[in-house]
Amino acid sequence: MTTKASPSKRAAQLQVLAAKAATCTACELAAGRTNVVFGSGDPDADLMIVGEGPGQNEDEQGLPFVGRSGQLLDQLLEEIDLRRHDNVYIGNVVKCRPPGNRDPRPTEIDACKDYLREQLRLVDPKVVVTLGNFSSKLLLRTETGITRLRGQAYEWWGRFLVPTFHPAAALRGRASVLADMRVDFQLVADVIAGRLVYDAPEPVAAPLPREAVEAAAAAHDQLGLFG
Ligand code: URA
C-alpha cells in the first residue's frame, strides 16, 4: 500500500511542478500568454475544481477564476460553506489562455494534461468538480456533453467526480443553469460531509449510467487517470 506524502511535501511538489509549467513551451498557447495559470488553493483540499482554461483576467493575474465566472464560483462555494483557499484547490485543463478565449484544441489539451494529472495526484481530493464540457469529457473520457453528464456523482479513481456546467454558461444562460449548478454543488457538500460514500455496498444514487461504466472500465486502463 502506498502512503500519502505529508501536505507540506505535496505542496512543495506542486511548487516544483508550477515552476516547470511557468517555462513550458509544449504548445502554441505559450507564445500568446502573459502568465501561466497553473492553479491555486489548498494543496491538501477535499475538493478540486477543474475549469477549462484561463481568460483575460486570469492571464493577466496568473490565477484561475478571478473574473466574473470566478465570482460566481466563489458564491457557489460559499453556499456550501467553502472558500477557495480553504479546503479547495482550483486548476484548469489548459494552463495558458487560448487567444480570444477560443476553445482549447485537442493538441493543446494533450500537451497540458500531464500537469493536471499530477495536480490531481498530489492534491488527492475526495471530490473533483469539472466545470463544463472540456474538463468533464477529458476526465470522464466520454463524448457525452455536460447537459447529460451532470446531476450525479461518478465514482472516479477512488473518489467522486461531479460534473457541472461552467459558470460562464450560468452567466449567459437561463436561470435553470444556475439552479442546476446549485444542485450539483449540494452533491459536492454531501460527498465532503460523508453523506455519499465511495464504493458503498448499496447503490448511492440512480443506477449507474453508461458513462460511469465506461469510466470504471477506463480506470483499469494502463494509461492512468485520463488519456
Ligand atoms: N474559465 C475557466 O475555465 N478557467 C478560468 O480560470 C477562468 C475562466
What whole-number distance in Å separates Cα of residue 39 and Cα of residue 91? 4
Residue 64 has pLDDT above 60, yes or no: yes
What whole-number distance in Å separates Cα of residue 164 and Cα of residue 147? 8
- Ligand 1 centre to CA of 6 (Å) is 29
Which grid coordinates belong to 203?
447503490
The pLDDT tens digits for 17-33 are: 999 999 999 999 999 99
Q: Would you say residue 57 lies in a domain?
A: yes
pLDDT > 90: percent of the chain: 82
Instruction: Decide which of 5 and 51 is more confident.
Output: 51
Q: Would you say residue 140 lies in a domain?
A: yes
Q: Would you say residue 174 lies in a domain?
A: yes
Q: What angle do CA 125, 16, 107 make, to 5 degrees?
A: 75
Residue 86 has pLDDT above 70, yes or no: yes
Residue 2 has pLDDT above 90, yes or no: no
Query: Region 155-181: what's the mean pLDDT?
Result: 96
Q: What is the mean pLDDT of the chain?
A: 90
Q: Would you say residue 227 lies in a domain?
A: no
Confidence of residue 198 (pLDDT cuts 50, 70, 90): confident
Q: Mapping DSSP to helix (H, G, I), strand (E, B) and coil, where does residue 146 land? A: helix
CB of 91 closer than 6 A to ligand 1? no
Q: What is the pLDDT of residue 3?
A: 75
- Ligand 1 centre to CA of 90 (Å) is 9
Q: Would you say residue 163 lies in a domain?
A: yes
Q: How many domains does the chain have?
A: 1
Q: Would you say residue 14 lies in a domain?
A: yes
The pLDDT tens digits for 126-142 are: 999 999 999 999 999 99
Q: Would you say residue 92 lies in a domain?
A: yes
Which grid coordinates belong to 150?
451532470
Instruction: Decide which of 46 and 225 is more confident.
Output: 46
Residue 213 has pLDDT above 60, yes or no: no
CB of 38 closer than 6 A to ligand 1? no
- Ligand 1 centre to CA of 74 (Å) is 13
CB of 54 closer than 6 A to ligand 1? yes
The pLDDT tens digits for 104-133 are: 999 999 999 999 999 999 999 999 999 999
Confidence of residue 38 (pLDDT cuts 50, 70, 90): very high
> Could you tell me the CATH number of the domain that includes residue 167?
3.40.470.10
Per the structure, the complete domain to which residue 44 belongs is given by 8-198+205-217
Instruction: Decide which of 14 and 202 is more confident.
Output: 14
Are the C-beta atoms of 175 and 30 separated by less than 8 Å?
Answer: no
Count other C-beta atoms under 10 Å from residue 24's C-beta. 17
- Looking from the CA of residue 134, the nearest atom of ligand 1 is 3
Confidence of residue 196 (pLDDT cuts 50, 70, 90): confident
CB of 55 closer than 6 A to ligand 1? yes
Q: Would you say residue 191 lies in a domain?
A: yes
